[in-house]
Every structure is written in C-alpha cells, then in structure tokens.
Chain A
Amino acid sequence: MAFKDVIEKEEKDAYLLTNEAVVRAALESDVKVVSFYPGSPQTEVLDTFEKVLPQFDDLRMEIATNEKVALETVAGASFVGMRSLTSMKSVGTNVASDSLYSLAYTGVKGGCVVLIADDPYCHSSQSEQDGRWFGYTAYLPMLEPSDPQEMADMVRLSFELSEKYRTMVLIRTTTRVNHQSGIVRLGPMERTPFERISWKENRHSFRTVGSAARAAKAELLEKMDRLKAELGRSDLNRTEHFNGKELTQVDGTDGLPKVGVISSGVCYRYALESLMDLEQEAAVLKLGVLNPLPEELIAEFISGLDKVIVVEELFPYIENTVTMIAKDTNPSIEIVGKRSGHFSEMLEYNVPIVIKVIADAVGKEPPFDHMAHFERMTEKASILPPRLPVFCAGCPHRATFTSFRRAVGGQDEVFYANDIGCYSMACLEPVNWSDSMIAMGASMGIAAGVQYVAKEKVIAMMGDSTTFHAGLTGIANAVHNDDDITLFIMDNSVTAMTGQQSNPAAPEVAGHTPGKGIDIEGMLRGLGVEKIVNIDSYDIGKNIKLIREAVDHEGVSAIISRQECALYHFRNYRRAGGKHVPFFVDKEKCDRMYNCVKDFMCPAISIDPEDGKARIAPEICVGCGVCSKLCGKQAIISTATLKGGENRAYIEVSDYEELVRATEVDE
C-alpha cells in the first residue's frame, strides 16, 4: 500500500499516486520543513505527509491557516538553510501570490519547492486557472511532470536546482496528473538528523524594496538566462520520434517526419496515445520545463516541419511562444492549436478530443468514433437518477440549514452570501440557494457591499477553516465600519470538505498531536462583535428562535453553529470503540408525510417500495437524531429504545461507554 511504500527502505517499484510520489521524493531529498493548506487536487500531499510524520523525527510539518502562510513558512525555513516544500491548489496560489512575487526577488537558500495544482474542468475549484503564468510572470523556474515517476524525478531535481540557483522552483500539475497512479521506482531514503542552524553564522538579507528590488530584478533576469541555458537542452525536454509503431528519443532533428507535436503534462500522454491509435508517424517535443520555455530547442524542432500540433489545456501558453518563434524560423509552418480553432481554451482534454484534432490535421479518420459512442451510451444512461454530492448522514450543516431557512423565511427575505466549504453544497438540492459564492473568506466583504445597497438583510456564512483562512479581515472590516450583517460560523472543528484536516480552532495540529485550539467566540468578542449567539447545530427546535434573535440585531451579529463534522466525529467515535446507534422508522406511526425526506436528503433515508413509508438504512445512519425532530408523528425512534436505552441521539463523547454497554445487551 501507498503509505508503506512512501516510507519503504528498499529501492523497488511501487504503485503510487502522483501526490504520494511527491512526498516520497521529498523525503528522499531530505526535506526538513513542510507546510500546507488543503485543497483539491493536491490535498493528498498534505495527508500523506501527515500520515508518515510520526515515522520521521527529523521532519517539521504545519497545516497552515492558508496558502500564503504556508509559503512564507517554507520560505523562512529555507532562508536559514533547510530544505522545504509546500503545495497548493490553483486558487490557493492567488492567495499566496503576494509573497510569491517578492520571494522570487529575494531568492532562497535551502532547496525550496512549491507545487501548484491546476484544475481544468473545475472538478473542485471555483475557476479554471492556468498556473503557468505564475512561473512566467514571477520569473520562477517551473517544471511540469506527466505522471508519478516524472513527478518523483522532478521533485528531486527541483531541490538541487533551487539550491544551485538560490531560487524557489515551481512544479505545475493538473488534476489528471495529481490523481494519476502508476509505478514509481523508489530511490534511496537517506535522511540526516534535524539540527538547528546558526543564523548568526549564515546571516543574509532577504528583503526587497526600492533599490534592493531593482538590483534583485536584474539578478533575476540574469538567473533566468542561465536557467534557460541549463534546462533548455536537459533531459526534461525530450525530442522523440514516433514511427507509427514505436517511440524513440532522438538527439537533434535529422530525419524526423514533417508533422510535429509539442505538448507537456498529461496532454503529452493523450497526444501519444492518439498517435498510436492513428498509427501516425510524427516528431514529438515533450516539454518538462514550462519556464523558461526552451526557445532554441523549439526553434530547432519546428524549423523543418510543415505542420505542428500544440496540445495543451487552458491558455495557448506554449502555442503563443511557438507562434512567436515561427515568425522568425519557419513563417510558412501551419500551427494547429487554439488560435486555429481546433482546440478549446475550456475544460480538460482526453484522447477522444485530441485524436480528433490530430486526425483532422493529418487528414485521417480516427479508428473509432468516440463521441458518437459517448452520446449513444449517455442516452441509454439517461434513465438514471443523478447521483450528486449531498451532506453526509449526520452532517451538522444539514441541520443548520433546516433551522436557518425556517428562521429567515426563505430566499425572498434576505441576501445570503455563501462561502467555500461543505456548506457550499447549499448551491445544490435540496437547499438550492446561495446568492453569492466567490472565494474563500469573500462572503464578509461581499456582504459589506450588499448591505449598503440592498433593502434586505444580509447573511454571510463561513466555516471555521474559512474564517481563519481569509475571513478575519472581512469581519474586522465589518465591525469597524459598523456594517449590518449577520454572520454564520459553521464550526465543525475541521476543514471538512478536503478530508477533515485540523484548523486553528481544532485542539490538534499536524500529525494529530495536541495543539492550541483558538476559541472562536472569544476571538469574535475581541474583534468587537457585540451580538453572538451560540447554537448546537442539531438542536433544530431551539435554533429558529436563536437565529432570529441574531438576525434582528442591527450591526454585526454572529451565530456560531457548533457540532463536529459527522464524518470526522463518528470516525473517531468508532476508533474509540463506539458503535453506531441508528434510528429506525416505526411503521405503525409513519403516515407518509415525508418531513424526514423533503428538503432534507439524508443518504440514510429512503422510501420502502413495499409500503411507501420512510425507511432508515441502519448501516448508514449515525444516529444524529435530527430527522426524528422533524417527524410530526414521532415515528422516528432510536434503536437504543429497543434495548432499554433512551430515545435520544447518541453523539457526545461522554456517552461512548454508556452507549457501548447499551448496544451490547443481547448481542
């Protein structure tokens, strides 16, 4: 298994996810300080480091409040002289970018590697960004792997380059690389002890402003030239010959066919498979370096071609450079790409998309009509109900929304500024409501603007992790300006959406070791929020009134809705020996009102086709008991009552023991 292989001593072949390969290669490179904020598609880098952390007393790890702090942390460690690494999702780089640009100027000392994971298609992001521009506009070297093995090789190399050039090195990925698994050759794991370094003996200034900045920029440009010379002709950029059957790496361009393909990352793999399927001979330039692009190599590659097909997702980043170079070296070459209208700047690619373009460019028919097949089969599958994400069984957010919607009287009464977390699913059925949802922590700023203009009351909502990530500035702003906003803080103890990592409100830090949990209520009071209402998310009976109280307050008010993320809570509960005590439907009492189904959508509840009454799947129900409070007939009852226990939700840690006893009677 992956975890075992990440720490394996033996040098062997292992089946790893690219994100796990990052961790393996970084550990092999003796990385000493790592810090992350979670975000798909790179979260497994954090999660894997956290899993292996107890095995390495020579490694320091933080789960940071946000990507900017994570970047600054690893840069600081590097300033003093240790190797460090962080990774972030595309939009996380926006948050970190202020420091990123300055750090390019100051440079670093210990090898410092930064992963930027883009998400074409927005599988799990708010916008389709192209992180390649960060490398380009910040003057930082940037590499791009196409699979787990290349990732491992590039991470190791990046640490060396970083130290040699005293610059951070960026590695750019896309979802289909981060979430690709394959065989990785494990290298030697040679770690050195963690020994603090004397700053006094290594003092060096890392500051940039005015004349220092101008000097740094000049140095940066010169660094880029040297990097271009070293990396351009390195093995990272490969010229290959595909003869219709086999692929061979070649030196120079002698004897290559007249049709060429330039690509990088996972798109290279789609292009190669397309050529194989078409049995199409072609020259291939596989780029591993995105910045600085190897202009000389590209010029040489295209100089003898009639036609070049550039395969890359999102912006025509490589294509623009190819077009520019072609003006001088081969003005008559036909460039097939986005400018020619063949490829889109939207979404992610796959073989069906790429093979169509290549076939078209070389005047062949693809051997199989993928799209026709796709359409015919999806038509067949259209009889299926969709299976969209919903709140987990027992999710406190579901309960909070139940009371929130009743308390404010629905969509017509208030402006609801949503934010980024599991509660974002309010956008989907059954809540199906968010008046805005922009970026982490943005809800408070948006609310500030809306409350000046709209007639309706404004409600903002953030999770605990989002509050610390980028929400505090918005809260301070609203209090300071005496804005009229009610803020919901969905305090579920963890950063749930990305896999329940700890956040500053949690009593633990990376590696699940005890740490300081920040008291959110005390913090809000310190910031000057006058009206604070605490609610237990599950207590929907009481909450409607409490929520109204906060909403009626003029000025900034806050509702802290507390209950642990159910996935997290019940996982810990099972590990502590607890057993679920599900609820069940008393069929005698159920009169098919479906209050437990309508607008609730709990995965544990369905309709029994036999009698049309509600039914609770005991293997899914965690026993939060919220649905039982919605039933007008009191038909939903805890299975604990069958064993002489009380009819109430068993959710408190203190109940564990009692619970185990109750459920073990007659089992």
Chain B
Amino acid sequence: MKPFSIINAGVGGQGVVRMSNILGEACALTGKEVRSGELHGLSQRSGSIVIHQRIGDGAVSPLIPFGEADVIVALEPMEALRYLYFLKPGGLVITNTELTHPPGESEDLVNGRIERYISYEEVIGTIKEEAEVVEIDALEIANEAGNPLTVNVVMVGALAASEGFPLDRDAVVEAMTSTVPPKAVDVNLKAFELGSEAFKSKS
C-alpha cells in the first residue's frame, strides 16, 4: 500500500510550512496516518523550501523517494521544476504562476554572465514535458479573496480539488480555519474556495 505523496514547494516566506501544516492537521482531525519531512534551520527568508508529506496507510518514511510523489504543489514555478525529480512519471504539478527571481540571477544578469532572466514559458514548458500541469494565478485570486497573503491557502484549495486527493474537504477547511484568528476566517475560506474553483476550471 502506497501513501498519497505530496511535495509542497516554494520560496522562504511564502507560507509553505503553513500549507503543509493545514494538511497535517486535517489528518489528525480525521484519524489518518501522516508523516512529513521538512528542513528548518536557516533564518534567511529567500531560500528554496520543500516539504514532503505522505498521507494514508503505508506512510512509513518521511521522505518521498525520487519519482514517487503523486503531486507537487508549488507557490513558485521554478521550485516546482527544481523538485520535479520527486514527481512520479506523468504526475500532477499545481503551480502558482508568479516567478520570484533569486538575487543571484540578477547578479549574474548585471555581470553579463547571463543575457536575460529565465522566462515563465521556459520553466512551465519544461515541466509540461514531464507532468500534467495546472497553472493557478494565486496572487490574483488571493487579492480577489481580500488578502495577498492567502496565496498558500488558494493553492491548498486547488490541491483539495484535485483527483485522488485523500482528505475530506471539510476536515481541510476545519484545520485551516482553526489556525487563523476569527476575523481572518472569511478571507481564508474565500481564498480556499476560489482556489478550488480555479483548479476545476483549468483541469
């Protein structure tokens, strides 16, 4: 029995940890087996972040073996490609569409080591060669929901609408709302719902 395996990826400061905590919390609420592997350590907020999550029976080890993730949820598209080696052949990538260029890339650009920034099309095109891709303009949706900081919740909403997602929607919603202050509940709910709708309309 293989667990449902999710790679949560993004850039430090985008809320990748919260994204995975919502899913983990939902497992605790519904009595599902879950095991996650992450790395905490460096404070600097602009590094690359990846959290492995395995849900359901057979969640034995905290790390997803290369090529065995069912889905990658990425808050930044380059990070989806960076961790593509974890995705099973033909697996699903749900990614935010906004690129965050690392400072080193700008440094290379002004020093003439590269001619231009990598483009979204290059990144997404490469991912599409190997995976099924659903692109979500999460920032626009988060703004529509009322708070640009809910980009991660939009992406959880999208993930929850995907086929084979092993958790009960209500449990995810409960896990999500129980961790925010009361006044933020509505915005988070809206971001979640809009994320789900966006996924359905794109897939």
Contacts and interface: CB of A to CB of B under 8 A. Distances in A.
A368 B11 contact: no
B102 A386 contact: yes
Given A368-B68, A380-B81, A497-B42, A179 B37 contact: yes
Contacts of A368: 65, 67-68
A426 B79 CA distance: 25
Contact of B37 (A180, A352, A619): A180
Interface residues of B, number: 65
Contacts of B25: 1, 15
Contact of B24 (A15, A392, A603): A15
Nearest to A44: B40
Interface string B89-131: 1000000000001111111111100101110001100100110
B137 interface: no
A13 B26 CA distance: 11
Contacts of A270: 61, 63
A430 interface: yes
Interface string B154-195: 000000000000000000000000110000000000000000
Contact of B117 (A40, A276, A609): A609
Contacts of B126: 380-381, 383
A23 interface: no
Contacts of A429: 104, 107
Contacts of B66: 352, 370-371, 373-374, 377
A556 to B, nearest CB: 30
29 contacts: A1-B179, A15-B24, A15-B34, A40-B41, A176-B62, A176-B63, A181-B34, A181-B36, A182-B34, A266-B62, A269-B60, A350-B65, A368-B68, A373-B67, A377-B66, A380-B129, A381-B81, A381-B84, A381-B126, A384-B81, A388-B104, A389-B46, A390-B103, A392-B44, A422-B44, A597-B107, A599-B107, A601-B103, A603-B45
Given A181-B62, A380-B129, A429-B104, 4 more contacts: A180-B36, A387-B47, A598-B107, A606-B106
Interface of A: 1-2, 13-15, 40-41, 43-44, 123-124, 147, 175-176, 179-183, 266, 269-270, 272-273, 276, 350-352, 355, 368, 370-371, 373-374, 377-378, 380-381, 383-392, 422, 425, 429-430, 496-500, 567, 594, 597-599, 601-603, 605-607, 609, 619
Interface of B: 11, 20-21, 24-25, 27-28, 31, 33-48, 58-63, 65-68, 78-79, 81-82, 84-85, 87, 89, 101-111, 114, 116-118, 122-123, 126, 129-130, 148, 178-179
Which 3 pairs across A and B sit closest by C-beta, in order of nearness? A377-B85, A40-B41, A269-B61
